[in-house]
Structure 1
Amino acid sequence: EFPSGNSDLDDYSNRCCQRSLAWIPVIFINLVVGWSYYAYVVELCIFTIPNNAEKISYLVVFHLFFIMFIWSYWKTICSRPASPSKEFCLAKVEKEQYEKEQPDAQQDILKKAAVGLPVYTRTGTGAVRYCDHCQVIKPDRCHHCSTCDMCVLKMDHHCPWVNNCVGFSNYKFFVLFLAYSMLYCVFIAATVLQYFIKFWTNQLPDTHAKFHVLFLFFVAAMFFISILSLFSYHLWLVGKNRTTIEAFRAPVFRNGPDKNGFSLGFSRNVVEVFGDQKKYWMFPIYTRCTCSPQNLFTCLIFKGKS
């Protein structure tokens, strides 16, 4: 519904402006990738490389990495963040009562409502985690994202480069996006290097391809170095079954904080992200593990904790 009144109109305009500006990093990435495609395929492979066998082999491998990179990138962007199901919402009567009570009484209401729910984590003070904005009891590993304006299951972080929250619904896609973008960059840098040297030392004629080849190497190398550190960090998180939020602040359980509270062992931690079927691990498609839906939000059941 279109807002009425000056203040509502101003708020609406600000939100629209913020949402539009949020796409700038995504547009920037797509422009860089679009230019890199042109520079590699046209300027390098078509205009610079003389050997047809080398040219064809480079193009085949390049397009393989390019397709997987674009596929995983847009899956990360387009996957809507998963939010808590209706079981975690207070009933109408409970909600009305909650809004009238003092904090201590509110916690009693939340504790009763949380009975039977797979909720094992607490706030730092030991209270049931509740989002006043979304009006839901937060499942384990769920956090409210102020940018997306919603509670996100297994929230890792909000990534401006994909203009989306990275969490339960797209974390696999995000890790694959990092992996394929890194492979894309290192392949470009490795195959461009010899022609970079030839242009730099004037072994090749000074054509319009020179700028593209020289700049392509620098950009690919720069992005590879920056992505490598981020990819390595997230591989470590996958192996530990932690999110970025949990790595900075250990989750608090009923018996206190435990940074390894969700870890099931390395192999099972990997399955939690990539699914049981290894043949689908390298593809940005949704794969589920054999856990029950509740265990997808909290892995404590596997460890027998309560």
Structure 2
Amino acid sequence: MSFIEASSKKKKKKGMGAARFFRKVQSCCTFTLNVSPVVLLSLILAWAFWAYHFRLCLYLIGNQAILQGCLYMIFFEPLFGLTVWSFYKASRTSPGNTIDTAKQGESEELDIEEGYQDNHDSEYVQLLPSHLPARNDANHLSETDDQSNSEQGTSSSPAILSLDDNNAPIRLASSSSLSITVKRDGAKRYCQKCKMDKCDRSHHCRSCKRCILKMDHHCPWINNCVGFYNYKFFYLFIVYGSWFCIYVFSTTLPLTIRIMKQPMGIFEIDFNWLFLCFVSVVFGLFLIPFSLFHTRQLCKNRTTIEFYEKANYRLGSRQKRMGSRRQMIDIMRSRYFNPWELGTRTNVEQVLGKSTMTWFLPIGIPSGNGHTFPLNDHAYDTLAIDEVDDVY
């Protein structure tokens, strides 16, 4: 028996060793597939820098077009630098996920009268903008809150954080754990893989294996999810990438055509110029419409997932308790209802920041904490945020 047991243990160890080996091979293959688009794009950018400077601009300078060659290089540098900088920040910045936030203990309740809790320095930041009229002092805000509470009959008083572009108040639910997006039956959204409740606008990414805060989509070109903390960097990357493709194509094509029109010009043409034109056209055809699409979503304060998928919003209490029974009531299922739209300027500030000086630089962090988002006045009046009602 001892010999049989020993042989069975050896077989189990061999089987476990083989399983570990295949898991390592699988993880290596997956890693290679995931990083290959990033490596490819990095190589293309590096080659474009070399070809434009040393094959195009130096050719112009060597053929008595010194001013043209120098101007081409001067305008090329900032576009290329901002594109690479945004690309690096988008790929290296975590979009934010519920698991890491829970581990860091940053899922505390918000004190609405003080403002959002900043994730980095844990200080309360007042969100009332400086352009509010003078009459909107603390007393006026308190009166407005009392009036809205009396009209809606709610027991908790959500605060007015700001005004949108139409001078309508922007409100936030009184509890960060209270979500307005629910399942079809009105129950809380729960992730079976992360074993955690989903907050508003968060979704589970199969590639990242995390619930991403304010998830937009998973981008293979940056090998990262686009979410709450890196959406600005991704948006700037595709915008600067679009301008970069337009600039390279518009400066390379005229010289290429002029050389090819000359006798035997096909033999004098530099094939790096042809590749620059080809690559800029191919990437431009994708980046330009993509950047226009995301510009519209940025102005509407809407993610790609929210644009394509329907969401469930609860109207009134999630449940009514009828004696010992609980009955689900009033769930809106719509793809067109956008409770997060606060006006164009406020929507842009939610992502790019308050200071217009840093809007087009890949620096800074977005407003809020990624868990709870301000609602516009129409959404607040449409969607009730009260707790479960007891009806006997």
The CA deviation at 1:43 is 0.5
Q: What secondary structure sits across from 2:241 in the alignment?
A: helix
**Matching residue within 67, 77, 81 for 1:67:** 81
Q: Name the CA distance, whole Å, in 1 between partners of 2:242 and 2:263.
A: 29
For residue 73 of structure 1, what is the amino acid of its counterpart?
A: F
Q: Name the CA distance, whole Å, in 2 between partners of 1:149 and 1:36.
A: 34
Matched, 1:280 2:358: yes
Q: Which structure's CA Rg is the greater one?
A: 2
What are the Cα deviations for residues 165-224 of structure 1, in whole angstroms up to 9, with x where unaligned?
001010000110001101111111111122111122136856676211122112212221
For 2:276, the equivalent position in structure 1 comes to: 216
For 2:372, the equivalent position in structure 1 comes to: 297
CA change 1:36–1:141 in 2 (3 A) is same
CA change 1:279–1:6 in 2 (3 A) is same
Q: What secondary structure sits across from 1:284 in the alignment?
A: coil
CA change 1:174–1:116 in 2 (3 A) is closer
Matched, 1:264 2:339: no
With normalisation by structure 1, the TM-score equals 0.83
> Quick check: 2:260–2:266 contact (8 Å CA) kept in 1?
no
For 2:221, the equivalent position in structure 1 comes to: 161
What are the Cα deviations for residues 65-107 of structure 1, in whole angstroms up to 9, with x where unaligned?
0000000001000001201232798xxxxxxxxxxxxxxxxxx
CA change 1:287–1:277 in 2 (3 A) is farther
Matched, 1:15 2:32: no
For residue 30 of structure 2, what is the amino acid of its counterpart?
A: Q
For residue 300 of structure 1, what is the amino acid of its counterpart?
A: L
> Quick check: 1:65–1:184 contact (8 Å CA) kept in 2?
yes
> Quick check: 1:118–1:298 contact (8 Å CA) kept in 2?
no
The CA deviation at 1:35 is 1.6
Q: Name the CA distance, whole Å, in 1 between partners of 2:72 and 2:263.
A: 21
Greater mean deviation of Cα atoms: 71-80 or 16-25: 16-25
* Match runs of 1:115-194 below 5 Å: 117-194=177-254
Q: What secondary structure sits across from 1:133 in the alignment?
A: coil
Q: Name the CA distance, whole Å, in 1 between partners of 2:197 and 2:24.
A: 28
What are the Cα deviations for residues 30-80 of structure 1, in whole angstroms up to 9, with x where unaligned?
121122111111100012443111111111110110000000001000001
Unaligned runs of 5+ in 2: 1-15, 108-174, 316-331, 386-392
For 1:96, the equivalent position in structure 2 comes to: none
For 1:226, the equivalent position in structure 2 comes to: 286
Q: What secondary structure sits across from 2:236 in the alignment?
A: helix
* Match runs of 1:49-60 below 5 Å: 49=61, 50=63, 51-60=65-74
CA change 1:211–1:268 in 2 (3 A) is same
**Matching residue within 28, 31, 43 for 2:40:** 28
Q: What secondary structure sits across from 1:158 in the alignment?
A: strand
Unaligned runs of 5+ in 1: 90-114
Matched, 1:248 2:295: no
> Quick check: 2:341–2:376 contact (8 Å CA) kept in 1?
no
Q: What secondary structure sits across from 1:22 in the alignment?
A: helix
What are the Cα deviations for residues 252-279 of structure 1, in whole angstroms up to 9, with x where unaligned?
1112134312211222111111111111
The CA deviation at 1:134 is 1.1
